Amino acid sequence: MSHWIELDKRYFMDTGHRRLGVTLVRGEGARAWDDAGKEYLDFIAGWAACSLGHCHPIIQEALREQSKRLILASLDVYTIPQIELAELLISSSGLAKIFFCNSGAEANEGAVKLARKYGKLHLNGAYEVISALKSFHGRTLAMVAATGKPEYQAPFTPLPEGFRNVPYNDIAALRAAVGERTCAILLEPIQGEGGVNVPPETYLKEVRALCDERGLLLILDEVQTGCGRTGTLWAYEGFGIRPDIMTVGKGLGGGVPIAAFLANEQAACFGPGDHGSTYGGNPLCAAVAGAVLRFIMKEDLPGNAVRVGSYFRERLLGLQEEWDIVKEVRGRGLLLAMEFTKPIALAMAKACCERGLLLNPIPPQTIRFMPPLIISPQDVDRAVMILDAAIRQIK
């Protein structure tokens, strides 16, 4: 055990196991190096946050230039990077208003808070939000209640009221759950931590129609799927709908902490004093996010997600044909998953890590792939070669 791992175990609360057992000290593009100098191909990418890979020159330049000008200012004043980023996000999403925060959980909290005020103003005080089983919306107490995973909820009961969880991709269950207290439906366009569950093309259209029929707000959590990961700038574009409220984060900052929630004109009902954030949309992170988003759009990284993601999927399907232990390959763009017939996800991730590939296991049986949007077919070939060797070893 290295010195750094010993210190980590001594000082940190045991909130999550660092399951791969490596200490990273440097990164460049899709690669990272540990404290012993070993190189890894990183297909976790900060849980999809490092959209441009590690330490991209665009991010370095934005950090360097903005840190010489202004790092933080209160919301009592205007700052230019925040306004420029807001304009970029609003013009690219078709929504009308925005609020910046620091993490996806905060963005989802803000979206639910906004929906509750909307319910008070327009839906006779309705406050309930319906979300999906196997979803993930964050680790705050309210977002644990929104997240449809009983194992996450049980240690923290009683949970905040006002949330109902129904099966994902089940429009009948969703329709049955809507009642007089319902103000909004909160969904991931594609479930990430739940196992990269992609709904059929009709599902989100049916949800949109249900919301329109009942006068409810549709909130889409695009914290993981947004910023080009699924092959369109926003995943909802690939399903032919538009939400009333959208949350974004992770890949927006390319590795620096920034998130936001956006709303259409009708849903954007906050007034002065209704919400706030000390660090939300600070000039430093806003400048980086603006540079990241402009690069994603200029270099057509959503297109790269389609091209390389399709190639990656084909290679993974080839492994499925070769190995009967591979049950399913699924996903869209560069958000993919491989499910096994046996509970070997963690063993697979560790075996790949030993060979220089960092992967995210979703125990017991699924591996999730979230590589940077800049990866190449050659990176995919190397990853598949390592996966094949790890399957051969474990099988």
pLDDT in tens, 126-161: 999 999 999 999 999 999 999 999 999 999 999 999
Angle formed by the axes of helices 283-298 and 301-322, to 10°?
A: 70
Strand partners for 99: 261
pLDDT score recorded for residue 261: 98
Q: Which of 221, 239, 244, 295 is catalytic?
A: 221
Q: Is 205 a catalytic residue?
A: no
- Residue 81 · residue 100 · CB < 8 Å: no
| Average pLDDT over the chain, rounded to an integer | 97
CATH fold of 10-42+300-394 reads Aspartate Aminotransferase, domain 1 (3.90.1150)
Q: Is 42 a catalytic residue?
A: no
Q: Which two tokens stand for residue 267?
A: 């849903």
Closest CA to 110 of 197, 196, 193, 223: 223
pLDDT score recorded for residue 139: 96
The C-alpha atoms of residue 248 and residue 259 are separated, in whole angstroms, by 6
Q: Which of 250, 295, 340, 369 is catalytic?
A: 250
pLDDT score recorded for residue 39: 98
Helix H or strand E segment including 130: strand 128-132
Query: Where along the chain do the CATH 3.40.640.10 domains lie?
Result: 58-298
The C-alpha atoms of residue 273 and residue 266 are separated, in whole angstroms, by 19
The C-alpha atoms of residue 167 and residue 11 are separated, in whole angstroms, by 39
Query: Where along the chain do the CATH 3.90.1150.10 domains lie?
Result: 10-42+300-394
The C-alpha atoms of residue 174 and residue 326 are separated, in whole angstroms, by 31
Strand partners for 275: none
Q: What SS3 class is residue 175?
A: helix
Half-sphere exposure of 75 (CA within 13 A, CB side): 12
Per-residue pLDDT of 350-387, as tens digits, reads 999 999 999 999 999 999 999 999 999 999 999 999 99
> For the domain with range 58-298, which CATH number is right: 3.40.50.2000, 3.40.640.10, 3.90.550.10, 3.30.479.30?
3.40.640.10
Phi-psi category of 215—alpha, beta or left, where left has phi over 0 and alpha has psi -120 to 50? left
Closest CA to 19 of 395, 390, 364, 380: 364
Q: Which of 99, 136, 163, 295 is catalytic?
A: 136
Q: In what order do the strands lie in the sheet with 366-369?
A: 326-332, 335-340, 366-369, 360-362
Q: Is 136 a catalytic residue?
A: yes
Phi, psi of 87, deg, nearest 5: -60, -40
